[in-house]
């Protein structure tokens, strides 16, 4: 279900030839924030355009690919209010090449747009504003404020575990679980599951539990918006088909992923009693070395715990074999488990290659669990990995 429908024919605003003056620096900043949403290879030409609307003292810029949209704005001098659409990539690339200073943008006949800056004078071919799809408006009710830092952390610690298989539709996003006093996110591709929770996070306007599936592409856009804002809170709202995230003066809207996310609680290991604690940087370095000699297709490595040592090893007929040993207190029965090396490195990278990690096992056929060894940490982070036959 697309989040936008083509707008009904409305009286075109281009009659009032839009004319504005805007600072190059401000314009580049907002075009940069929105251009990644623009559809590059589209069969609908207008989706390759920005919608530019000038009114009062603001310039609103919108980009959409029908699944998601970003709307942003900046302060400008509006000589004549109005609206136009301009090819996004061409505008972005051209404005970046202009010197600092003011830029004047004026709508001409037949949707052409004139851009002047210093001694540069350019005319671009636009398209009728009336043909631009209608982008949903941010709802005025049921808005929740979420900490920018918390949301950023949740995305960074789960996005890599989202499935790339288009056929597994409900796994093509991460599940955001909002409660009155906690915030959590979970993602899985069927081979691994990443779960992170921020307890003691007061969220107003939430009673009970709210679960929403956010598509991977929207999470990538959200990551960008959260990295480039000074806003401490993100306003979140949704309606039947759409999720909305307002970050400062920018709003991302995206269609919801429909369908049932798997019962992730059932996958969490309960009785992984064999464990070892190792330094994240040591384990990461050992796995990177050993993985050079793993089977190229599976990336499988072997982890063996025995007698106060963790041995990480791999072998393949093409490249040879390799083993690294890490000292760690371990007195339980010996255990050998095979894992995809890339999956473990994804998790260690999300930890910033810092601190210690606890590796928890039951036996060589059961899922392993990894988590930061940090009892006082403000996030509860668990990473579940299915073993590989090696």
**Residue 278 structural domain:** 268-385
Do residues 128 and 22 both lie within one domain? yes
Q: Which residues partner with 118 through β-bridges?
A: none
Tens of pLDDT, residues 218-243: 999 999 999 999 999 999 999 989 99
374-385 mean pLDDT: 90
Q: Classify residue 390: in a domain, yes or no.
A: no
Same domain, 96 and 157: no
What is the Cβ-side half-sphere exposure of residue 222, based on CA atoms within 13 angstroms?
31
Of 70, 103, 134, the one marking the end of a domain is 134
Mark whether 347 and 284 lie in a shared domain: yes
Shared-domain flag, residues 346 and 256: no
Mean pLDDT of 330-353: 95
- Bigger pLDDT: 296 vs 150: 150
> Per-residue pLDDT tens for 45-84?
999 999 999 999 999 999 999 999 999 999 999 999 999 9
Task: Give me the mean pLDDT over the 385-389 stretch.
Answer: 92
* 115 band by pLDDT with thresholds 50, 70 and 90: very high
Does position 277 have pLDDT exceeding 80, yes or no? yes
* Same domain as 11, residue 126: yes
Q: Rounded to whole angstroms, what are the CA distances from 169 to 193, 240, 252, 262?
A: 16, 18, 21, 11
**CA 342 to each of CA 288, 299, 315: distance values in angstroms, whole numbers, following the listed order:** 9, 7, 15
Q: Is residue 274 part of a domain?
A: yes
In a shared domain, residues 190 and 228: yes
Average of per-residue pLDDT across 361-378: 92
pLDDT at 1: 46
CB 17 within 8 A of CB 82: yes
Q: pLDDT class for 3, splitting at 50, 70, 90? A: low
Task: Judge whether residue 202 has pLDDT over 90.
Answer: no
Return the SS3 of 44. Answer: coil
Same domain, 172 and 120: no
Indicate the range of 136-140, 185-189, 245-249, 325-329 predicted with least confidence: 136-140
- In-domain check, residue 27: yes
Shared-domain flag, residues 252 and 150: yes
* Higher-pLDDT residue of 181, 375: 181
Q: Which phi and psi (to 5°) does residue 196 adopt?
A: -135, 135
More confident call, 319 vs 14: 319
pLDDT at 39 over 90: no
pLDDT score at 121:
97
Q: Are residues 252 and 275 in the same domain?
A: no
Q: Residue 302 domain-assigned?
A: yes
Tell me what the mean pLDDT of segment 276-302 comes to: 95
CA distance 382 to 369: 7
224, 283: one domain: no
Q: Are residues 325 and 259 in the same domain?
A: no
Q: Bridge partners of 144?
A: 236
10 — pLDDT class (breaks 50, 70, 90): very low
- 139 within a domain of the structure (yes/no): no
Same domain, 168 and 126: no
Q: Mind giving me the DSSP string for 20-34?
A: EEEEHHHHHHHHHHH
Average pLDDT, the chain: 91
Q: Are 297 and 207 in contact (CB under 8 A)?
A: no
Domain boundary among 236, 264, 292: 264
- Looking up residue 287, the CATH number of its domain turns out to be 3.10.150.10
Question: Of the candidates 82, 110, 134, which is a domain's last residue?
Answer: 134
Count structural domains, the chain. 3
By the 8 A CB rule, do 52 and 34 touch?
Answer: no
Compare 14 and 216 and report the one with higher pLDDT. 216
């Amino acid at each position: 279900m697309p989040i936008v429908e083509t707008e009904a024919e409305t009286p075109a605003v281009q009659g009032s030839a839009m004319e504005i003056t805007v600072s190059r620096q401000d314009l580049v900043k907002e075009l940069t924030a929105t251009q990644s949403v623009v559809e590059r290879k589209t069969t609908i030409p207008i989706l390759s355009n920005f919608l530019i609307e000038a009114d009062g003292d603001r310039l609103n810029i919108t980009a959409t690919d029908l699944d998601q949209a970003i709307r942003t704005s900046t302060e400008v001098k509006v000589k004549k209010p109005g609206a136009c659409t301009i090819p996004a990539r061409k505008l972005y690339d051209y404005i970046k090449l202009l010197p600092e200073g003011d830029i004047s943008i004026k709508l001409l006949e037949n949707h052409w747009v004139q851009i002047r800056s210093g001694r540069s004078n350019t005319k671009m071919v636009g398209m009728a504003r009336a043909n631009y799809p209608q982008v949903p408006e941010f709802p005025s009710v049921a808005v929740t404020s979420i900490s920018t830092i918390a949301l950023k952390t949740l995305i960074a610690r789960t996005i890599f575990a989202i499935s790339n298989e288009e056929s597994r539709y409900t796994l093509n996003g991460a599940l955001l679980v909002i409660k009155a006093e906690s915030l959590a996110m979970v993602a899985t591709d069927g081979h691994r599951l990443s779960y992170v929770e921020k307890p003691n996070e007061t969220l107003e306007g939430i009673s009970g539990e709210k679960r929403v599936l956010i598509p991977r592409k929207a999470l990538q856009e959200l990551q960008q918006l959260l990295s480039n804002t000074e806003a401490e809170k993100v306003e979140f709202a949704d309606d039947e088909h759409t999720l909305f995230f307002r970050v400062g003066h920018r709003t991302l809207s995206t269609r919801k992923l429909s369908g049932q996310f798997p019962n992730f609680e059932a996958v969490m290991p309960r009785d992984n009693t064999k464990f070892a604690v190792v330094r994240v940087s040591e384990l990461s370095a050992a796995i990177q070395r050993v993985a050079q000699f793993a089977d190229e297709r599976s990336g499988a490595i072997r982890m063996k715990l025995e007698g106060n040592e963790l041995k990480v090893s791999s072998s393949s007929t093409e490249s040879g074999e390799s083993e690294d040993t890490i000292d760690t207190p371990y007195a339980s029965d010996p255990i050998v488990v095979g894992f995809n090396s890339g999956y473990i490195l994804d998790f260690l990278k999300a930890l910033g290659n810092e601190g210690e990690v606890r590796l928890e096992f039951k036996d060589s056929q059961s899922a392993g669990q990894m988590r930061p060894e940090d009892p006082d940490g403000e996030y509860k982070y668990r990473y579940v990995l299915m073993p590989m036959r090696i």
